[in-house]
Structure 1
């Protein structure tokens, strides 16, 4: 095949991908619900990071050996409220953020969209703990209630908007202060919206599920979480990130909008196990993606490309690009490389661009499965944290705890069989 024929074939292949994927990516990128979901998690992120920082401090390595058992327990109890009031109830912050952002999209009073979402969620949440009425289990406000919270925020914001658009509002005279006027204007739309959710709660109490949260968790959240915790689904997510980026779309934002609820739920399970000192149940979590894939120089792990350009690159232009992309690449910001190399719409780099992250995903997954390296502990680490440091923090300083004994290695064959079954 001649050079011209290869160029023509590449052009046809690119055209097919562009015609098929770009419309899908554009719809996902501009979807108001996915945008509200993404922004809702961003609202919660500072609080989540705050809680994660204190989880790391509370579980600092070797501290349990330096302090007495009572002193160590007192130390952890003193820092415990930092994570209990943020990470353990992160669902509440996400719900407020989604309701706020979706109502803001409709040009409504965003703050009322946020508060009606949280009130609707609490109406649907079980309020009995071990036979004691009026007590909401903390687990229902965290990962376990995440999917219910997301659906509730979407529906409550839409209902609130619908009633406002129908002009079902109390209009106050012109001389009334703006804050009072807005409060009375929101009264009827909020009352009607919450009445709908109260009716749903009453109806659901006559079903075998008893509550909406049990229904959502059993029918939707649990199966999706099981699916998302597997290696095949993660590989698909990683491939989609790379493909979207190849066409100049922010693949991480698009894919995270869909997968974040699953990854955060898995993250919460690991955090709970980590704090209780039990075996971490999941390998795939939010931090598996952020610290061990994106956290290696950005999407596509391009920090390695920057290093090679600096070490063996001969082109003066590439050398300058390496100097430009190096510092931000250390903090996992790789747009200078993606747009400057370029990687976008460049068929010559398509195969390594797609394959390299998949290889890293598989190697990391297997390494954690056989106990060679620790699993993510559920601690949220900002994705801009430099490599090595991010892994150390994301595993809860667990390198000291991760000792590969002969017994652990002897079980690696069984773990490998489990991994192979996972593909089935």
Structure 2
């Protein structure tokens, strides 16, 4: 078994390391993290405005008073993501990040329709629809930001700049240096928008949404794709790689888009369109003790095994595990490269996620509303916050016991191995 794992690691690790250090995936991860504090603030406002014991009139009043807390944060997440992509991608090329961010965001707006159609078919000009800056505009925002920044950086590196004399304030000199690259980049996007509008009588937003975003989001919201992503997270962690960072870099654009679509439906009082969202993946996987849902495992180790080694690791990992930090368990048990616990490490999250999906699909437990919950919030509380229902917390308790039942025989096997004296 160990020989097989070693050979598998030799094949997998180089590819996983390349994926984890990929420039564009790293930039995308950092860009989403830029919006994290704002998303948290918006989520808090949504939770407070929609507490389950408020009546409809109270909720309506609170949304009228404090609704901008969400409108100015979560509902316009694409703004922060596009700026973040421009900023971090420019920095990765050792260029001025602030100008890269500004150009990326302006390029996104350059291809964004400044009109909206209301009920009755009336078209209002000179306005930006929130969905263009949120869920519906997410993919075109990312694509345009990456393209715009690449153009901006390449033009800058060619030296097509206005260089100011020595003694000019740095802020002024940098602005003039960015002038020509910015004009060239924005002109390209303006021309693209003019062609789409004038020749094809369409816009890039709707094209990308229908051709790319909708199919990808539809695929990512299904159970099979979710289980594949979760399997890869667990599989990479087994070899000591941070599977969450590697796989989430690819899947976060889809899961965040699904989250925003749920949030918009929740605010409008409509049925939630998706089960799998970013909160579903965090609250009902990571939110059960960290990657691999190991809180139940840590408690079993601390109180239900005989090996002194396992007891010590379990007790040391218990406090961090309550807040979903499980590196002490992953590297202390160890889970990494330990063939004895490979099966439960992989199987438990897949079983629990499948169970949760079907429980929500039949309406027994409500799906996450789209509210983002910090991943460090403890079990039960994070389930309640994510679903705005006590049933979300109750489901996590059931999940906890499912994980424990799957893991227990393997922990007892490991317990015997650790107590067997080496001859």
- Report the TM-score, using the length of structure 1 for normalisation: 0.89
**Is the contact between residue 61 and residue 398 of structure 1 (CA under 8 Å) also seen in structure 2?**
no
1:80 aligns with 2:71: no
- Distance verdict in 2 for CA 1:87–1:209, change over 3 Å: farther
User: Please, which of 41, 49, 54 is the counterpart of residue 32 of structure 2?
Assistant: 41
For 1:369 and 1:84, the matched residues in 2 are separated by: 29
Whether the aligned pair in 2 keeps the contact of 1:40 and 1:95 (CA below 8 Å) is yes
Which string of whole-angstrom CA distances, capped at 9 and with x for unpartnered residues, describes residues 354-410 of structure 1?
A: 11100011010011111121110000001111010000000124649x9xxxxxxxx
Instruction: Give the SS at the match of 1:144.
Output: coil
Q: State the match for 1:392 in structure 2.
A: 384
Match of residue 361 from structure 2: 369
- Separation in structure 2 between the aligned mates of residue 17 and residue 221 of structure 1, nearest angstrom: 34
In structure 2, list runs of 5 or more residues that go unmatched.
118-122, 395-423
Pick the aligned partner of 2:2 from 11, 32, 36. Answer: 11
Residue of structure 1 aligned with 2:15, choices 15, 18, 24:
24
The reply to whether residue 201 of structure 1 matches residue 193 of structure 2 is yes
How far residue 206 of structure 1 moved from its aligned partner, in angstroms, is 4.4
> What does residue 321 of structure 2 align with?
329
1:346 is the counterpart of 2:333:
no
- Among 162, 171, 192, the alignment partner of 2:163 is 171
Q: Note the C-alpha offset of 1:156.
A: 1.1
Alpha-carbon distance in structure 2 between the residues aligned to 1:124 and 1:17: 46
Task: Answer yes or no: is 1:125 the counterpart of 2:112.
Answer: yes
- Give the drift of 1:208: 4.7
Aligned to 1:146, which of 131, 138, 141? 138
Which ranges of structure 1 fall in alignment gaps of 5 or more residues?
Answer: 1-9, 403-424
**Aligned residue among 343, 347, 370 for 1:378:** 370
What SS class does the counterpart of residue 35 from structure 2 fall into? helix
Which residue of 103, 110, 123 maps to 1:116? 103
Q: Which residue of 2 aligns with 1:262?
A: 254
Residue 188 in structure 1 maps to residue 169 in structure 2:
no
SS at match of 2:374: coil
- CA distance in 1 between partners of 2:298 and 2:390 (Å): 29
Q: SS of 1:205's equivalent?
A: helix
Contact 2:161 2:181 in 1 (8 A): yes
Contact 2:324–2:377 (Cα < 8 Å) also in 1: yes
- CA RMSD in angstroms comes to 1.5
Query: What is residue 287 of structure 1 aligned with on the other side?
Result: 279
Query: Does 2:92 match 1:100?
Result: no
What is the deviation of 1:227? Answer: 0.3
| 1:72 CA drift (Å) | 4.2
1:157 aligns with 2:149: yes
Decide whether the 8 Å contact of 1:209 with 1:215 is kept in 2.
no
Specify the alignment match of 2:53 in structure 1.
62
Secondary structure at the counterpart of residue 288 of structure 2? coil
**1:5-28 Cα shifts (integer Å, max 9, x gaps):** xxxxx1332133213321221111
Matched, 1:245 2:237: yes
Residues 247-285 of structure 1: CA deviation (Å, up to 9, x unaligned) = 111100111111111111111111111111111111000
Show the counterpart of 2:128. Answer: 136
Once residues 224 and 208 of structure 1 are traced to their aligned partners in structure 2, the CA distance between those partners, rounded to angstroms, is 24
After superposition, the Cα gap between the structure-2 partners of 1:398 and 1:279, relative to the gap in structure 1 and judged at 3 Å, is farther
The answer on 1:313 being equivalent to 2:302 is no
Give SS of 1:62's match: coil
SS of match in other structure, 1:143: coil
Mapped contact 2:302–2:313 kept (Cα < 8 A) = no
Contact 2:49 2:59 in 1 (8 A): no
TM-score computed with the length of structure 2 as normaliser: 0.89
Measure the CA separation in 1 of the matches of 2:293 and 2:348.
Answer: 8
Deviation at 1:137, TM superposition (A): 1.0
Q: How big is the shift at 1:76? A: 2.1
Which aligned runs of 4 or more in structure 1 are off by greater than 6 angstroms? none
Deviation at 1:209, TM superposition (A): 6.6
Instruction: Please state if 1:233 is matched with 2:222.
Output: no
Cα deviation code 1:76-104 (max 9, x no counterpart): 21111100111110110111111111111
C-alpha offsets along residues 307-331 of structure 1, whole Å, 9 cap, x if unaligned? Answer: 1012212122221111210001001
- Summarize the Cα distance change of 1:322–1:156 in structure 2 as closer, same or farther, 3 Å threshold: same
